[in-house]
Structure 1
Amino acid sequence: MSNIRIGHMLLGIYQTNCYFVYREGSDQALVFDPADHGEKIEEALEQNGLHTAAVFLTHGHFDHISGCEELKAAADAYAGEHGENPVKIYAGEAEKKFLLDTKNNLSKAMGSPVTVIADVYLKDGEELDLDGIRIQVLATPGHTAGGVSYYFPEGGFLICGDTLFQESVGRTDFPTGSMSTLVRSVKEKLFTLPEETVVYPGHGDSTTIGHEKKYNPFCV
């Protein structure tokens, strides 16, 4: 039985799911989509005996990245005090320009322009091993051109940002969005995962691959 755990916080005006993944007994947490209040994310983790070891982005919309800079600063301060390396930010390689474009990432329209420069840009199919946690990177464009999902084979779950929701999919009417591309991503990349895989989306409740294959009206 796996001892990989996942928790989440609801952040920002759009109630974005910010997830943190860790192995039981370890103090290192991998944080996904720090939507807002980055310093508070680190404080909440530390109150529970954890600290941010790495930051992962599913895509570049403001409501998934606005807490990035603050979280990295807080996490790097902790790392410096404990003799650890600075925290790295990971994102899909095709999202690099999007993360720097305040118009496309919608932050300019919200009155709080935000950009992110990742330390590592990930390729489709790449595999990572962080603190003994294996992550498979799946390019899942459609909601944005460079969106990625993260599959944890040992934990049996997927963090997919705004690609797939419970009986729905992400919007495609924003810059670089494409419904045909999104549906193809879901069918070819996500629906090939084991049906019992738990899906943790960017907003709303979790679901499973099996449930979505049966009931998602966008991907029949």
Structure 2
Amino acid sequence: MLSYISNILLSIDIVTPKYKPLVYTALGATTLATGAVFSSWESIKIIGLTILTGCAYGIANDMIACRDCIEYFTVGHFYDGLNLASRPVQSLNPSLNAIAWGMLATWPVCALAGVILSTIARAPLPGITLKIKAKQIAPYLAIAAVLTLTIAHIGSRQAQKIMQENPFAKYHDVPLDLQAGWEACNIRNLTGYKALALDSMVLAIGILAVRILKRRDMESS
């Protein structure tokens, strides 16, 4: 599926030339993550699953954000009107932008989270033989993604409402009528990243706790 999308992008040349490395790296990473899920190595599976879950969250999140304020989605998030030169894709279509941004903005963070979770779940630890598999982590990754999306959406809507009721020029060069939408996108991103970090920490602690507690159960039985 991802290779199919990549071929479409190549054929219609919709990717902005100077951002092709950025976009195609994201596509490549997501494609590799898809393949990793089918690996026989559980550590690789966990990393791939974490990246895919993160990208799915990112795309879903940006499907909403790109409809709130498409002007926000320039590289660096500076106001450039509807100019396409500073956008990853040569289109203002919200769905295309959401797919591109959903992958390129989340895969590096989720790759790091995946490596950490994989290490905690599978690395040999003194006195601990139990190892956690990808399929055991998958439901919690899904729950974390849904929670993050919900928290980011609520925070975004609250911020947008406040800005709509009392509009002011918070963001430099952004027209007043776009300030509320810009605020919604900015808060959505910031809240999402914070929630992703917190979710990863909680999940990592949970995985480690399960491994330790299972060892104690085995010792006491």
More strand by share: 1
Which gives a bigger RCO, structure 1 or 2 (Cα 8 Å, sep 6+)? 2
TM-score range, shorter-chain basis?
under 0.3
* TM score, norm. by length of structure 2: 0.27
Q: Work out which of the two has the higher radius of gyration on C-alpha atoms and give 1 or 2.
A: 2
* TM score, norm. by length of structure 1: 0.27
